[in-house]
């Protein structure tokens, strides 16, 4: 049997180590534990050598104890051990996780928090989750600590050449609560802005970082823990958004665009030439971090109002593409609307930076060949359709006719090979 002990906010209890012939753990765990004098000790570094030593002792029937932080079944070593030795070989004794301890220290519930690990993983996923959600716990690691998280959130401000960046709700006004050395006499929880976090050397004692929109830190009473459920409807009616002179992506077009964009938790979507921001808002409602780029000042305010009306986190950049895109983080997916002469150049700039896909909606037939070339020249596999729908419309006498909407070309390019499914592992 392999006993896995979560140390929580205190040292491992002595009885869990009694009779152990092999004790494996981080250096600080081993130093704090009452390890039997005759037991072999292995300081965890690379996992493969430690697992081989555990296997040799396990095969001999030796008593093996593995020390870990907090709850080892929560982004912890239990997964690796279960894959190697089978779940039946494990006796897991969890402690209090760093996430639970950190939220307890600041007096907040965390059933509605999103927990994301940046330990040994791509930091961009954690950054995008922080941009999109009001209550996030980030498990940190080397090269992915408070400084790097704060700097990345700061880059997300992406000031356009026009010098105006408008946001609602303001994702980059998030506060970071950095919990360090939880459960020790050096325990500390510090409240800093992303900019303040970026300017410090935090050392190696950081346990977890909470990224909060303090206006919504309590949230609503929940039945299901974790991220909020996806909306029950999408491709909303045009009447759900403020718009100018029907200048809005129609819901039939939006439905297919959303299907091809695939907005999801941990990803970043650009809505370029956002207009009313209907696509941006819907992507945000589906869990993605979203930047809407709009050159018209009244459009910026309209997008902000639509985001507010739907409770969506949308960062709005006032500026003209492609210049306004220069300071933004690379997106996973991009939606481009409009049909001016500059459209192919804008699509080309977006296609060069998109990690997964670009979707373009246009009414002008003349733009289709150049836009298609812009997508394929950037290495994307291109496809598309002409969408033309007829909606039910009432007539006098309690009868109904079909009213045709204007046709719209929808082209999309997908990077090959397709970016892997799911958020970054």
Band (422; pLDDT cuts 50, 70, 90): very low
- Residue 400 contacts residue 390 (beta carbons within 8 Å): no
Rounded to an integer, what distance in angstroms lies between the CA atom of residue 381 and that of residue 206? 43
Q: State the pLDDT at residue 193.
A: 94
Q: What is the mean pLDDT of residues 391-418?
A: 91
For residue 88, what pLDDT band results from cuts at 50, 70 and 90?
very high
Phi first, then psi: give them for residue 94, nearest 5 degrees. Answer: -70, 150
Is 153's pLDDT higher than 80?
yes
Distance CA 121, CA 144 (A): 8
* pLDDT confidence of residue 94: 92
Average pLDDT of the residues in 68-91: 94
| Averaged pLDDT score across all residues of the chain | 90
Write down the H helix ranges in 74-171.
Answer: 78-85, 98-105, 123-132, 146-155
Half-sphere exposure of 353 (CA within 13 A, CB side): 18
- Supply the pTM of this predicted model: 0.88
The pLDDT score that the predictor gives to residue 386 is: 96
Residue pair 374/351 in contact (Cβ under 8 Å)? The answer is yes
pLDDT digits (tens, 9 = 90+) for 254-309: 999 999 999 999 999 999 999 999 999 999 999 999 999 999 999 999 999 999 99
Place of tokens 């002990």: 5
Residue 173 has pLDDT above 80, yes or no: no
How far is the CA of 53 from the CAs of 76, 82, 238, in angstroms? 19, 16, 63
Q: Is the pLDDT of residue 166 over 60?
A: no
Round to whole Å and give the CA distance between 20 and 64. 6
Q: What was the pLDDT predicted at 418? A: 47
pLDDT of residue 10: 63
The pLDDT value given to residue 156? 54
* pLDDT tens column, 201-248: 999 889 899 999 999 888 888 889 988 888 989 999 999 999 988 889
pLDDT band at 157 (very low <50, low <70, confident <90, very high): very low
Tokens representing residue 9 in the block: 């906010």
- Mean pLDDT along residues 308-324: 93
What's the average model confidence in pLDDT over 332-353? Answer: 94
8 confidence band (pLDDT: 50, 70, 90): low
CB 231 within 8 Å of CB 286? yes
Instruction: Return the beta strands (E) in 206-347 as ranges.
Output: 206-212, 268-272, 289-294, 314-318, 333-336
Cβ of 299: how many Cβ atoms within 10 Å?
22
Note the pLDDT tens digit of each residue in 127-137: 999 999 999 99
Average pLDDT over residues 63-91: 94
Domains (ranges, CATH) in the chain? 2-96 (3.40.1010.10), 99-216 (3.30.950.10), 238-415 (3.40.50.150)
């Amino acid at each position: 049997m392999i006993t896995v002990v979560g140390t929580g906010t205190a040292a491992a209890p002595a009885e869990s180590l009694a009779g152990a012939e092999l004790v494996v753990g981080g250096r600080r765990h081993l130093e704090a534990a009452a390890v039997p004098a005759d037991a072999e000790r292995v300081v965890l570094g690379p996992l493969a050598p430690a697992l081989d030593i555990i296997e040799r002792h396990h095969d001999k029937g030796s008593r093996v104890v593995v020390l870990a932080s907090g709850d080892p079944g929560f982004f912890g070593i239990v997964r690796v051990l279960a894959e190697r030795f089978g779940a039946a070989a494990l006796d897991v004794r969890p402690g209090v996780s760093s996430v639970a301890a950190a939220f307890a220290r600041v007096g907040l519930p965390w059933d509605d928090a999103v927990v994301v690990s940046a330990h040994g993983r791509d930091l961009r996923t954690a950054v995008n989750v922080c941009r999109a959600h009001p209550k996030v716990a980030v498990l940190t690691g080397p090269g992915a600590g408070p400084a790097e998280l704060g700097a990345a959130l700061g880059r997300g401000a992406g000031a356009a050449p026009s010098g105006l960046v408008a946001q609602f709700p303001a994702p980059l006004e998030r506060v970071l609560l950095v919990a360090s050395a939880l459960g020790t006499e050096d325990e500390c929880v510090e409240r800093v802005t992303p900019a303040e976090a970026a300017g410090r050397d935090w050392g190696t004692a950081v346990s977890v970082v909470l990224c909060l929109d303090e206006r919504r830190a309590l949230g609503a009473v929940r039945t299901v823990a974790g991220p909020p459920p996806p909306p029950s409807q999408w491709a909303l009616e045009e009447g759900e958004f403020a718009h100018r002179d029907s200048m809005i992506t129609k819901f039939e077009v939006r439905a297919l665009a959303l299907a091809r964009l695939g907005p999801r938790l941990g990803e970043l979507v650009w809505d370029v030439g956002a207009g009313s921001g209907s696509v941006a808002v819907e992507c945000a409602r589906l869990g993605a971090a979203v930047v809407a780029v709009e050159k018209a000042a009244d459009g910026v305010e309209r997008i902000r109002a639509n985001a507010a009306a739907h409770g969506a986190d949308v960062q709005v950049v006032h500026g003209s593409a492609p210049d306004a895109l220069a300071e933004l983080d690379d997106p996973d997916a991009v939606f481009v609307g409009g049909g001016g002469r500059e459209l192919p150049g804008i699509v080309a700039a977006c296609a060069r930076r998109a990690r997964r896909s670009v979707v373009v909606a246009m009414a002008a037939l003349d733009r289709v060949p150049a836009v298609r070339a812009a997508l394929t020249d950037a290495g994307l596999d291109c496809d598309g359709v002409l969408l033309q729908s007829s909606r039910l419309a009432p007539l006098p006498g309690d009868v109904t006719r079909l009213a045709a909407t204007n046709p719209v070309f929808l082209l999309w390019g997908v990077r090959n090979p397709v970016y892997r499914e799911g958020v970054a592992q």
